[in-house]
Structure 1
C-alpha cells in the first residue's frame, strides 16, 4: 500500500518526501503547475504506450494469459496472473515493449529481478548478458530499425516456488533532491542517489513522464484506470498493485487506485477520476474513502460517472440505455440513456460528498457531446441534476469533415478542411459550438470544461498505418501550422466562456488509430512537437482566469431557478459527423467484457440441432457489471420461459477449433426452493469417454459460490465444483468442494444429434442459502471437449480466463437473482 504523510517544505523537498512515501503540505503557489489552466489525459497502459509512465516495464506488459501467440502448451496461473504451472515443452510469454521509437526509454542494461525458481529467456531486442539466481541483466537495443520491441518467456517454473514478481528496471536512478531527472550514477547527484533497481517500489514513475506531466493542473485518469468497457462491479475486482501487469485488453487493464492517487500527489495535480459504469455503491464509496484519506488535502478531486456514455460504440452506452429503458425513464431509448446517466451521476456525486463530509474539494462533473445542446439540457435538467453538478464537460475536437479529408492530397488540403466554415467540425464551427454550450451551462449555474480536445485527424475506415490519408495526418500533426490551430482553439475556448481544458492526450505513437499524442514519445524534443509547444505557450500566457482555479476549494456558481419551459427537452439524433470511434490501440476485446454483446455472436452459437431447444433471448442480460441476470421461474411447467441464454466463449485450456468444433450456452431460473440450470452443448464428436477422470473426456463442470463471497480459496461451506460425466450420467465433486454430505442437486441429460442438454436442479436448502431478489452468487460453466480419445483437447468457459477455477472461486463469474 502506498501511503502519504504531511509536513512543510519547498517544492523540491515535497517531491523528495513523496519519493520516500510522504506527501508534504506545501502552499499551492510553490508548485510548477499552480496557475495552469490546462489538464491532460493519460494513456491506456499497454506495451506500446510511448508515454512510458512506469519505470518497471513489466507493469505495461501484455498479461501472460492474453499473449496467446507467445504462450504454448497448458499454463495455469496464480491469482495475480503469474504462471504457476507450465506443461512439459510449454512456455509462458509476454511482450513488455512494443514499437517504441528509439530513445523513448534508455537503451542499455536493464535489471530483471524476480522471486521463485525457473528459467527465463528473452527475445527480439532484449538479450541476456548475465544471470544470477533472482537477477538477470539484459541489454535493450532498438537495432537498425530504430524501434524497440522486447519479449520475455518463462520456459520452466517450479510449481512449489513459481517464478513471480518479475520487475524489469532501467539503468541509473534519480537524485533524492530532484526526482524529475534521470541520472546514470551517484556521481551526478548533489543529494542521495536512489537507484531504480533498489528503490523501484518507491520511485514508481519514469522521471521523464513526471517532467512532462508537471505542467498540468489536472490529470484525467480515464485511460490509465481502464474505464472504457470496464464491467467491474465489486470492490474485490478492482485493479491490484500486485498484478503481473496493469496492462492488457479493455475491461481488464487499469492502474490501481493507489498508484493514480500517488501520481496526483507527486505532481500536486488535481486528479479526475471516472467511475466504472457498473460499479456498485460499495465500490464507489470505498474508492472515495481511499482518496479522502490519501490525497493531498491541498488538492481538489474531479469525479465523473464513466466516460462518453452518449457514445454508441461503447458498452457503457448500451448499459445506460438498458437501465434507462428498464426504469421507464423515457420512451426514446437514447433519451432514457441520457436520463439514466444523469440520475446515476447524481447518485455517485452524493456518495463522494458524503465521504468528503460536504467538503468543497469535490468537483462534480457530467459530460456530453459538444454539438448537442439538447443533450446538455436533458442531462442537466433531469430531476434538477444541475443543482448537484459543478461542471459540464465536452470534447471540442477540430478536423472539419471526414469525407473531405479523404480527398486531401497535401498537408495544405488538410489544414484547409480543418478551417473551412462549411464543414461542421472546422475550427470556427467548433468554437461556435463551444459558445452555445457555455451560454447554456451558465444558465444552469454550471461551469463548462473540456474533458478532451484538440485535433481529431483519424479515419477509422483505414486498415493500415500507411493507408491514405494517414500519412498526411501524421505530417499535419508535425507541421508548425498545427500549433496555430491549437492556439486558436484554446483562445476561442477561453473567449467563449470555457474554463479548464483537458487536452487529449499524453505522448503516443501516431498510427491509424489517430495522432492524438501532443508528442510522439515522451522524450521527443519540444522543437519536434508543435502541439506540445502550443499548449505550454497558452498555459504560461493564460494562467488561471476563473475563480477557484488554483487552491483546494471549488468556487461553485449560484444555482438559478430554472423554469419549466427551460427544462423541456426533446429527442435529438446524435450528430452523425461527431467522432464516435473505437478506442485507440486496437479492437474491442472479445465478449464477455461488455454488457450487451452483438446478437450475431449469439446467433452463431445457436446452431441447428440440440441447442435450438434452448429458448434464445435477443440479448444476454447483464446487470451491475458482468453479472448475469437470473429471472424467477414464473411457470413451473416451463422453467425457461423468461430465461436468457449465455454463451461460453473463452478457451482456457488446449484448443477449440471454433463453434463447429464445440459450442455451448447456459440458462438459469430460480424460485424459493431451487436454482435451475440448463446447459446446451453442440459437439462435432460427442461422447468420447476413455479416461479415468471425467474432465479429460467430454464433460460439463458447474462452479457455484452460493453466498457470493468469491474468495480465492474454497470455503468448505457453500463453494462447489460439480463435474457431470457424460459417460455414465453421474456427477462428481471437485476435491476442494465440501465432502461427505448429500449432493444438493439432481440432474438429467438429454441427447440429440451432435449434442446434449444437461438440466440441473440445485436446492437452496442444500446450498445453505435463503434466496431473495438481488442476491449475488458466484457461478461459472465450463465444457470439456475430447474429440479423439486420450486427454481432453480443450476447455470452453463462460467467465474464467484461466483453468484455475477448481481451486480459486475468485475466478467465477457473477449472477444476480432478479425480481
Structure 2
C-alpha cells in the first residue's frame, strides 16, 4: 500500500475515488472527467481529510473553504472561540495546569478550577505516598506502550536495497550513504535504496489494540507497510488509515521515496481512536492508570542512562521532540518526561548521562525549571550504578578517573571520579535553582551489596556530602539466590515452599536497611531506594548469558503466583518500619522505588510489575500487593476524583455519592442544573468510586468506570436511549 494519490493511465476515463466498504472507505475506480489541474489541487489541498467526487468532500469535523481551496476545521464555537481541532473548540481561558479540550480545561492531577489554577494536593491519589516507580525504557519491542503515537516507539532506520545482490537482505547497514536531516529523516535517498523501521514488535493483537491506525506525515514521498495483517481504508496526501487486526512480527514502515525539495518528515502512527487527541493527550490512558498512585517516577531507562550516547553528550546532540523516534541510546526527549510528571503530579527522578558536559547539565536544569509544575520536587542522580561492570558508564568513570590520576587502582579511580563528577553536577543544579533550594533532591548512590565498599566511597566524598540530600540504595530480594546457587532445590519446591524461602530473607533486608539508615544519619543525609523488588532469576543469564529453561520457567511462574504477594508486602513493610518511619528520615527520605513498571518476563528476570500495558492489574499479584500497601498506609488519599460531572447543552451528567456516608455511588442525568436528578441503574460497585469518563451525543452512550480501593478500574457503558442496563 502506497501513501500517495494515484491517477490512471493518460486518456483513460477511469480515476481513483473512494466508496464505503467492509472496513470503511475503500479505493475504487470511477468514470468521469477529472482535469489534471483538479487532481493537483486535490493532492495539494485536501491533505488527506477528504474524499474525491469531482470536489473535496471533507470528513466530519472539517469543511470546504472556497477561497482557501482546502478543507479546514469545522467547529460551532460560542463567543468567537477558535477551533483547535476538527470539531473541537478552544477555551475562553488559559489552562494554567491542564489541557484545553472542546471548550473546557482538563486539569492535571491536583489542580481544579475553570482555568486549572487552584492547587489542592488533598485530591491527589499519590499525595505523600512513599512508593515510586522506575519506568521501562522505550523500544519498538517494548510491552509498555507509553504513547498513543507509536512512531515515538519505533526502531531506528535500517537500509534496504530494492534490487541487486542485497535485495533480500534485512539491513544492508548503509546508513552512512544517506543524507540525513537533523530530525533523523532522510533529506534524500540514494538510487535503489529504501528505509525501513519496525513498530509494535510482538504487540499487535497481543498488547496493542487492533483497529484503525492512522499514519500522518508532512512532505512528499512513498510510504508502505508490511508484516502485519492490514487493510487500507483511506489513502490521501499526508494521511493514511490502516485497519490492522494481527501482527506478532510487528509493523514495518517502509519509506521508498522522498522528495528532496519537500522530504517526508514528522511521521506519526496513531493508535485507534486517538487521531484527534494525540497532540494534546500524548500518553496512552491504560499506561497512565497504572502509575497514577506513585509519588515519583524514575526516568533512568526512559533516558537510556545505561550506555547513553554519544560521548560526549552535548545540548546540541540531545534527543529532541521532533526526532523520528524516541528509542535508542540517546534516550527520550526531556519534554516528554516533564509532561508526564506534570500530568499525574509525580516528582521526576532524572539520571544525568555519564558523559554529559556542563552546558548539557545546565540547559537540562533550565528546561526543567521552565516546564515542570511548581509543586513538584526533582531528584537528581549522576548516571546509574557507576560501580556496575556491565554498564559503559562504569568503564567511562574508570577511564576518566585514571586520566585525572585520582588513584592508581582503576576501580578506586572510577569511584573517586563518580564522587567528583556527581558533586559538580549537583552544584550546577543548585545554581540553576538557587532561589528554590528545596525543589531539588541531589542523590548519591553506590553498591548496596558491599556495605564496606559503600562506606569507603562516602568517606571519600568527605565534606562534599553537603552537595547531596540523600543516599540511595537497592532493596531487591532474590530469595537467597535460590534460582542460582540452589536451582536444583528450587525446581522441586512448591510455591508455598518458595514463599517461605523468600520470606526468610526479609530479615537480611531489614539488616541492610538499618545499616544504611545509620550510615545516612551519620553523614546528615536522608535514605532513599533507587530500585527494589523481586529479582528472582539466574544471575548468570545477565553476567554470562548462561541460563536453564526449566529454572527460568520456574522463576517466571513464581513471579506470577499469588504466593509472591506476601513477599512483596513484607519487603515494603520492612522498609516502611525501618526507613520511612525513622523520625530523622522525613521527606524526601523514605521513598521506595520499585523496579520496574512493565516488562516481558524472560531468562533475564521478571522485573516488570506488569507484563504488558493493558494487562488486568487486579490479576497481577505484585501489583495488588503494592497497591494494597499504598491503600493501607495512605487511606486518606482518594483513588480517583471524588465526584465527576459533565455539562452538554441543556443536560448535565454526573457520578457521585447520593449522601455523605453512603456506600454506593450513583450516576444520573439532570435537565435543571442539578436541582433534580434522574438516576441510572446501579452499576453494582459497592464501595467503589464511580467516575464519569464521558458522553457520546451521537450514540447517546454514557461511559463510566468504577475504581476499587486499590485503584483498579472496571469500565461500563450504557445507551441511554434504549435499556437502563450497563455493559461492563
TM-score range, shorter chain: 0.5 to 0.7
Match of 1:284 in 2: 361
What does 1:481-520 correspond to in 2, within 5 Å?
Answer: 481-498=563-580, 499-520=590-611
1:722-757 superposed Cα distances (whole Å, 9 cap, x missing partner): xxxxxxxxxxxxxxxxxxxxxxxxxxxxxxxxxxxx
Matched, 1:27 2:120: yes
Match of 1:246 in 2: 326
Q: 1:23 to 1:245 in 2, by over 3 A?
A: farther
The CA distance in 2 between the partners of 1:340 and 1:464, in whole Å, is: 32
Matched, 1:477 2:559: yes
Q: 2:241 aligns with which of 111, 117, 137?
A: 137
1:161-215 superposed Cα distances (whole Å, 9 cap, x missing partner): 222211110122xxxxxxxxxxxxxxxxxxxxxxx21332221111111111111
What does 1:356-755 correspond to in 2, within 5 Å?
Answer: 356-359=433-436, 360-381=438-459, 382-399=461-478, 400-401=480-481, 402-408=483-489, 410=491, 412=493, 420=501, 426-459=505-538, 461-462=540-541, 467-498=549-580, 499-543=590-634
Matched, 1:162 2:252: no
- CA drift of 1:461 comes to 4.2
Equivalent position SS for 1:397:
strand
Q: 1:125 to 1:416 in 2, by over 3 A?
A: same
Match of 1:6 in 2: 96
The CA distance in 1 between the partners of 2:412 and 2:546, in whole Å, is: 36
What does 1:186-265 correspond to in 2, within 5 Å?
Answer: 196-230=274-308, 231-248=311-328, 251-252=329-330, 254-265=331-342
Q: 1:495 to 1:7 in 2, by over 3 A?
A: closer
Q: 1:95 aligns with which of 172, 189, 198?
A: 198
The CA distance in 1 between the partners of 2:191 and 2:410, in whole Å, is: 54
Structure 1 gap segments, 5+ residues each: 173-195, 546-819
Structure 2 gap segments, 5+ residues each: 1-93, 162-168, 581-589, 637-728
- CA drift of 1:476 comes to 0.9
Q: 1:491 to 1:77 in 2, by over 3 A?
A: same
Q: 1:24 to 1:307 in 2, by over 3 A?
A: farther
Matched, 1:46 2:124: no
The CA distance in 1 between the partners of 2:454 and 2:630, in whole Å, is: 28
Does the 8 A contact of 1:268 with 1:299 survive in 2? yes
Equivalent position SS for 2:577:
helix
Matched, 1:115 2:196: no
- CA drift of 1:411 comes to 7.7
The CA distance in 1 between the partners of 2:221 and 2:143, in whole Å, is: 31
Q: 1:114 to 1:540 in 2, by over 3 A?
A: same
TM-score of the superposition, structure 1-length normalised?
Answer: 0.58
Match of 1:336 in 2: 413
Greater CA drift, 341-350 or 23-32 = 23-32
Q: Name the Cα RMSD after superposition.
A: 3.1
Equivalent position SS for 1:40:
strand
The CA distance in 2 between the partners of 1:356 and 1:40, in whole Å, is: 25
The CA distance in 2 between the partners of 1:510 and 1:101, in whole Å, is: 18
Equivalent position SS for 2:458:
helix
Equivalent position SS for 1:328:
coil
Q: 1:383 to 1:466 in 2, by over 3 A?
A: closer
- CA drift of 1:66 comes to 7.9
Does the 8 A contact of 1:71 with 1:91 survive in 2? no
Match of 1:275 in 2: 352
Does the 8 A contact of 2:204 with 2:250 survive in 1? no
- CA drift of 1:303 comes to 0.6
The CA distance in 1 between the partners of 2:193 and 2:553, in whole Å, is: 41
1:443-468 superposed Cα distances (whole Å, 9 cap, x missing partner): 21211111111111233645699823
1:142-179 superposed Cα distances (whole Å, 9 cap, x missing partner): 36xxx46221111222222222211110122xxxxxxx
